[in-house]
Amino acid sequence: MIYTILFSLIKGLSINIKKKLIDESINTESAFLKLRDDLKKINTVSSNKILNQINSISLLNDAEKIIKSCNDNDIKPKLTVILTNLEINQYVEAIIGNFYKLK
């Protein structure tokens, strides 16, 4: 779950690129790690900004705060249906949006 949240917190990466990376990967963790590895090979302003976010401890701290907040408030995704990785990503982004509104 942490990689899904980390992935969703990355700014400057379109939903289409996220979807493509997730669809081409086994899971969100492998998509996240592939993105990080691919960005290391590219040297552009935007790729460096995204890579800096990925390598930032604050991204991990925010993801952990979101998970803690969900656990503290007994918020769990209802997985009564099979969701695609994109749908899970959008669900997590909605939770994240609500989390930042509470700050």
Alpha-carbon gap, residue 5 to 28, rounded angstroms: 9
Alpha-carbon gap, residue 55 to 61, rounded angstroms: 12
Q: What is the mean pLDDT of the chain?
A: 81
How confident is the model at residue 52, as a pLDDT?
Answer: 95
Q: What is each CA distance from 100 to 32, 41, 54, 73, 96, in whole angstroms?
A: 22, 32, 19, 15, 6
Domain ranges across the chain: 2-102
How confident is the model at residue 46, as a pLDDT?
Answer: 92
Report residue 17 as tokens: 């690129």
Alpha-carbon gap, residue 92 to 4, rounded angstroms: 7
How confident is the model at residue 44, as a pLDDT?
Answer: 93
Report residue 40 as tokens: 């290391």
- Position with higher pLDDT, 53 vs 76: 53
9-41 tens-digit pLDDT: 898 888 888 888 888 888 888 998 999 999 999
